[in-house]
Amino acid sequence: MVPKRQSYRNLKSLGEAQDIFFSRFRDLLAATESIPVRAACGRQLVHAVKAVRSVPAYNASAVDGVAVRAASTFAAFQETPASLAAGTEAVPVNTGNPLPEGMDAVVMIEKVERLPHPSGDRYEVREAVYPWQHVRKMGEDIVRGEIILPARHVVRPYDQGALLAAGVNAVEVFRKPRVLVIPTGGEVVPPEEAPDPVPPGKILEVNGQMLVSLAAECGAECVLNRPVRDDLGTIKDSILGGVASGYDVVMTIAGSSAGSEDYTPAAFAELGELLVHGVTVMPGKPTLLAAVQGRPVVGIPGYPVSAAVSFREFVRPLLFQLQGRTAPEHPVVGAVVGRKIPSKPGVEEHVRVILGRVGGKVVAMPLGGGAGMLTSLVRADGILRIPATVSGLGEGEAAPVELLTSEKDLDGRLLVLGSHDLTIDLLASAVQEATEGRVTISSSNVGSMGGLLAVGKGVAHFAGSHLLDTDTGDYNRSWIRKHLPDADVALVTLVHRHQGLITPKGNPKGIAGVCDLVRPDVSLVNRQAGSGTRILLDYELGKAGIDAAAVAGYRNEEYTHMGVAMAVTSGRADVGMGIAAAAQALDLGFIPVARERYDLVIPTPLLDDPRIVLLLDIIRSDAFKAQVLALGGYEVGETGKIQLT
Amino acid sequence: MVPKRQSYRNLKSLGEAQDIFFSRFRDLLAATESIPVRAACGRQLVHAVKAVRSVPAYNASAVDGVAVRAASTFAAFQETPASLAAGTEAVPVNTGNPLPEGMDAVVMIEKVERLPHPSGDRYEVREAVYPWQHVRKMGEDIVRGEIILPARHVVRPYDQGALLAAGVNAVEVFRKPRVLVIPTGGEVVPPEEAPDPVPPGKILEVNGQMLVSLAAECGAECVLNRPVRDDLGTIKDSILGGVASGYDVVMTIAGSSAGSEDYTPAAFAELGELLVHGVTVMPGKPTLLAAVQGRPVVGIPGYPVSAAVSFREFVRPLLFQLQGRTAPEHPVVGAVVGRKIPSKPGVEEHVRVILGRVGGKVVAMPLGGGAGMLTSLVRADGILRIPATVSGLGEGEAAPVELLTSEKDLDGRLLVLGSHDLTIDLLASAVQEATEGRVTISSSNVGSMGGLLAVGKGVAHFAGSHLLDTDTGDYNRSWIRKHLPDADVALVTLVHRHQGLITPKGNPKGIAGVCDLVRPDVSLVNRQAGSGTRILLDYELGKAGIDAAAVAGYRNEEYTHMGVAMAVTSGRADVGMGIAAAAQALDLGFIPVARERYDLVIPTPLLDDPRIVLLLDIIRSDAFKAQVLALGGYEVGETGKIQLT
């Protein structure tokens, strides 16, 4: 196979592509159907609905009391009650009872007393009522013939009550758009059918489920096809089959780019009209938009983040449009960029960010990783759009962010930057569990130094740090004095942990210690500059008199302990410095090098913040410590202790 | 039956009642269940979830290109390409393909050229790559053993993708709480089974469906029982049956007050512990909260608005609590009260309001009507809470309003006050249809004068008005000059319409005209003071030399034309002044009295507002005029014409 680059056939900007696509299908509406009101919650009315019955259906008592003719009470007062014959002049009624013939008002039960009388009981009425007082008048809520709900209204629970009360038992609504999702590619397999480990050359097909659920959130009914082979005929047949079966929208997944095995562009062009091939948005560029027999057909890119962008920008608005609605706008919050974000001019970039309200402003920290990083979608709190006319955003720049969460949720979100440690993930889960989701942690691994500086700049609530003072053997204090001389921060010890050299299981290359890192047959995976682990390794290399330039793979960097362990697992490297827990998690070899303290660096004023108070309670709890110990390679003797700075 | 007032057994403030109820069931959690990830969207995880597989599962190409050993490209430049043997030194790969054994980087297809060569094809590589460049490294997205989602996380579509990719095909979630709703009362019947008209003494049971849908919105599965008879034994048996069948929550509807036929308080007390009987909140006072065999049982009041308040304040938070979650807070907007709202001190009042963003502020106008008015729930945009310590809010006071809609929706909402006319409802529906819901109208009938003053005070976008100048026979102009001397407003004619005396069908009392209103056997239903129709009637009475005091029923007031027509239909009055369309809608008699102009009073600056521009386009459309004419009693010859003021 000779890979051969074709070019995008019809590259458009995001706005142009949306205009072309939505205007092409402007007049396309999903079919309508009549459904029971009881099943109509969340559905969209086609027409205005008029009441068939009046509510109340008759004049009824609005209270418990006695029905009277108002005129017979006009002289009644607390001291001089009117006396009315029970059953003829004053008739007992409960709330909702029809007003007896001839009566036109009700006196509340508290204002009457029934007294026995030889010629029949009588009521003493101690209050005058005016005509129709305490009466729910026929039609006072709903009058037959009135419009009770406008066209295009989305039915809510209250509306269901009103419709049923008004004698309307069925309503005409737009049918849920029917969507077919066709994953393509010989390499993709449904995850339930894949062996473990996934054999090289096979990829789990997970975008389909994501798209099905996203479409369901837009009110569509979505069917996920089995993956189809990557050839022109099969892809064309699958699309045609979907259109012939009456699906309102067909989505294909993958093969939409311009590579040698990207058959979808040709399939779309041969079946109908290829409206757009390629959109200058990142991620999401290899998006295809087409019309096949009058139906919208969308080629969704194969990378999950690209797929998400493509769905959000094209399919979501379309699905609402098919139902005669406008997609609800995403809530937007004004944020300040916490770290420089580069972008390519000429391409609109959609950057996934985590957010936190720090010191009165909302800070947006970009999540790294390309279009293939599913976890960046999972972790993102919002999407920051960088226009095509701009080349990146600088630290401190203001920018609007579209929320993936609610703005209210931001109040409970703690933004944690700094060093990576597995116990931070444990802590995030424990906090969310203890607060029933009111307090959540969004974190980003920027290394210990990055975390310290973020706290100093007020772009993080707190940081995780384990910076060794090579003169004293202490952690963090001297670094804070040097880099944050004016900051008022507290150090709270989270854990002590064991760092060492992670090797494949059984240590096949017989690495004994840091001195072996210069061996020509040993390749290192390193951590990024500014991380505490990098500083530790450099310190250890220095102690051993080794020049970093002599270490193979020294520039091969990972951002997390798990990344290092994974590099060793996958054979990309023979050894790396990392925590014992990471080695244990992946069942790797571990040669202890140092025991270090890992602290949370918390601005002192925040120690009174109820969220931080709660966090410290959790850290100090036996349950949390037990979870930490279970990871292996940790000590909790000083966990939760506040270190003086 | 002698109605006998009992007292509330255990009256609490809203806050006290919530504390008692939620703390009583604090430790109660719905059972958990393991479900497929594919079915888990919207469900709440019990525990943190760890990855079972790493993603990617192997080192894979991130682009289309050729896999190489990075070192073999270090000397390559655009002008001096490196030449690599195809198949051994440079292996073609597509995006996602596993990196061939021995290779550690990929050169993008744009940077290579394949050339034939006698000893086998070769690739010219015009760019150096560093190790692992353009490689999706094994585990770079997800590492086996990592926490990918925290405990108590609510699964979203992206999460489903990540879980499936990480080898997690099933998750442990909280089971949906199971809720049983038991309507009580011998008088309530399911609407589908009720004859038309509803016979006196029968009431349609519609609260049940409302509660079922509201509970579903909280993630619960809800079953609606058939209505049960109003007796102690039956009610007790139904509740016990529900508890025995494993329902997590039981709600009864109605019978929760302190009247003679209110058996639920006794039923709850005899079955378990009656925690609260009566809450000082309005509507919603007759709420019952109980524990029966450790399960929460709630007595929901029978009036629909009370039922809604009760659900919102007690059941909704409970259902989330059962799932280990906190109910999302309702979004709140700061509003200005557009009209004085009275309230009783000692009771927290929940006032339904309509909202509109008028002149930079959000105006809240209270909706009238008691706890029985379902339509007030349907029409409400928000809930304004007046604390028990306060006796009402004055016009212009600032107050927070909990939104029932999204804040974004407020941007498209037009707040229309003034005279009632059926064509306003038609217009509201037409606008919503034309804009796919982007522009909506919330209206309140406050009479023509009320509308004019609201526009003058800037608490409405525009008003409907038909105020007759009895000197000139013109409409609205002189009233505006007198009451809004400084206002810059335009008059846009909506319709001409016929006003007259509405009588029962066939005019049984032989009413010939206004002069007959003084007949002792004729009882009037009037419109409220300040309405254009009241002014018209007074003018006609004056012309006929009739003293209003001599007209029976003159003080019997309704707020809408349909209200007047309904009073005649139901026999509460013999005659009333109103529009021909109202008479026609209810098939009543009509004696023409006047032809009048009904204008929209619009601040001139708003004529450029895109929403108003669109509104005027609709008013002037043939489709709208045809709908108006179909109502009967309208003329559209000047519809859409701007009148000079």
**CA–CA gap between residue B247 and residue A634 (Å, rounded):** 44
Q: What 3-state class would DSSP assign to A406? A: coil
For position B457, what pLDDT does the model report?
93
A326 compared with B589, residue with greater pLDDT: B589
Phi, psi at residue B578, to the nearest 5°? -170, 180
pLDDT at B621 over 70: yes
Q: pLDDT at position B25, please?
A: 96
Chain-chain contact of A192 with B203 (C-beta, under 8 angstroms)? no
Sign, Cα dihedral of B617, B621, B625, B627? negative
Class of domain A447-644: alpha beta
Q: Which of B185, B217, B328 sits opposite A408 (nearest CB)?
A: B328
Q: What is the pLDDT of residue B645?
A: 67
% of chain A with per-residue pLDDT over 90: 82
B611 vs A625, B6, B606, CA distance in Å?
A: 60, 54, 9
Q: Which of A374, A379, A432 to mutate to test the interface with B (most CBs of B within 10 A)?
A: A374
- How many CB atoms are located within 10 Å of the residue A604 CB? 12
Q: Which of A48, A324, A436 sits opposite B436 (nearest CB)?
A: A324
Average pLDDT over residues A224-242: 96
Q: Give the mean pLDDT of B106-127.
A: 92
Query: What's the mean pLDDT in A612-626?
Result: 97
**Per-residue pLDDT reduced to its tens digit, B151-207:** 999 999 999 999 999 999 999 999 999 999 999 998 899 999 999 888 988 999 999
Model confidence band, residue B6 (pLDDT cutoffs 50, 70, 90): low
User: What pLDDT is recorded for position A6?
Assistant: 59
Stretch B68-94: mean pLDDT: 92
Among candidates A523, A548, A516, A549, which has minimal Cα distance to A535? A548
3-state secondary structure of A189: strand
Name residues whose C-beta falls within 8 Å of residue A476's C-beta, 6 or more positions apart in sequence.
A448, A452, A465, A466, A467, A469, A491, A597, A599, A601, A643
pLDDT digit string (tens) for B266-316? Answer: 999 999 999 999 999 999 999 999 999 999 999 999 999 999 999 999 999
Hey, are the CB atoms on B372 and A261 less than 8 Å from each other?
Answer: no
Gap from B141 CA to chain A (nearest CA, Å): 5
CA torsion B217→B223→B224→B225, rounded to 10°?
-160
- pLDDT band at B238, cuts 50/70/90? very high
If you average pLDDT over residues A226-240, what whole number do you get? 95
Residue to substitute from A207, A433, A442, A443, interface B, most B β-carbons within 10 A = A433
Q: Is the pLDDT of residue A645 over 80?
A: no
**Is the model more confident about A245 or about A197?**
A245
pLDDT reported for residue B196: 84
Reported as a pLDDT band with limits 50, 70 and 90, residue A260 is low
Determine the Cα–Cα distance for residues A67 and A105; give it in Å rounded to an integer: 6
Asked if residues A294 and A249 have their Cβ atoms less than 8 Å apart, the reply is no
- A385: helix, strand or coil: strand
Q: What is the pLDDT of residues A47-95, one digit of tens each?
A: 999 999 999 999 999 988 999 999 999 888 888 899 999 999 999 998 8
pLDDT of residue B9 exceeding 80, the answer is no
Measured CA to CA, the distance from residue B232 to residue B227 in angstroms comes to 14
Is the bond preceding B183 in cis, omega lying within 30 degrees of 0? no
Q: Is the pLDDT of residue A608 over 80?
A: yes
Give dist(CA A430, CA A506) in Å, integer.
Answer: 34
- Please name the residues between 151 and 180 in chain B that touch chain A, using a CB distance below 8 Å: 151-154, 156-162, 164-165, 167, 169
Second-level CATH architecture of B330-405: Beta Barrel (2.40)
Is B125 an 8 Å CB contact of chain A? Answer: no
Q: What is the pLDDT of residue A3?
A: 41
How many residues are given for chain B? 645
Residue B2: its pLDDT value, please?
Answer: 39
CB pairs under 8 A between A and B: 382
Task: Determine the pLDDT at residue B436.
Answer: 86
The minimal CB distance from A374 to the residues B1, B131, B162 is found for: B162
**Class assignment of domain B14-29+177-322?**
alpha beta
Residue in chain A closest to B131 (alpha carbons) equals A556
Residues in a beta bridge with B48: none
Q: Is residue A266 over pLDDT 90?
A: yes
pLDDT tens column, A356-377: 999 889 999 999 878 999 999 9
Q: Which residue of B has its CA nearest to A160?
A: B210
- A291-303 pLDDT tens trace: 999 999 999 999 9
| φ and ψ of A264, to 5 deg | -65, -40
Query: CA–CA separation, A276 vs A265, rounded Å?
Result: 9
> What residue type is assigned to position A194 of the chain?
A
A197 CB neighbours in chain B (<8 A) are 53, 57
**Chain B interface, best mutation among A129, A206, A207, A383, by max B CB count within 10 A:** A206
Shared fold status for B14-29+177-322 and B330-405: no
Note whether A429 contacts B151, CB cutoff 8 Å.
yes
Chain A positions in Cβ-Cβ contact with residue B216 (cut-off 8 Å): 41
**Nearest C-alpha neighbor of A335 from the set A417, A402, A390:** A402
The topology (CATH level 3) of B32-56+140-174 is Molybdopterin biosynthesis moea protein, domain 2 (3.90.105)
Candidate from A109, A192, A570 with C-beta closest to B5: A109
Give the distance between the most distant pair of CA atoms in chain B. 120
How is residue A594 written in tokens? 């140092």
* Greater pLDDT, A259 or B333: B333
Percent of chain B with pLDDT over 90: 81
Q: Provide the residue ranges of all domains of chain B, joining segments of one domain with +.
A: 14-29+177-322, 32-56+140-174, 60-136, 330-405, 447-644
Cβ atoms within 10 Å, residue A326: 15
Both tokens of B52, joined, read 């079972």
> A2 pLDDT exceeds 50?
no
CB contact under 8 A, A374 and B140: no
Contact between chains at A436 and B110 (C-beta distance less than 8 A):
no
* Contact flag A570-B5 (C-beta cutoff 8 Å): no
Judge whether residue A29 has pLDDT over 90: no
Closest CA to B461 of B296, B614, B573: B614
Residues of A in contact with B572 (CB under 8 A): 59, 104, 132, 137-138
Taking 90 as the threshold, does the pLDDT of residue A255 lie above it? Answer: no
Q: What is the pLDDT of residue A378?
A: 95
- The pLDDT mean for chain A works out to 93
Instruction: Note the Cα A143 to chain centre separation in Å.
Output: 44
Report B:77-106 residues touching A (Cβ under 8 A).
92-98, 104
pLDDT digits (tens, 9 = 90+) for B343-386: 989 999 999 999 999 988 999 999 987 899 999 999 999 999 99
Binned at pLDDT 50, 70 and 90, residue B1 comes out as very low
Show residues of chain A in contact with B377, CB under 8 Å: 158, 161-162
Average pLDDT, chain B: 93
Q: Which of these CATH numbers, 2.170.190.11, 3.40.50.1100, 3.20.190.10, 1.10.286.10, describes A60-136? A: 2.170.190.11
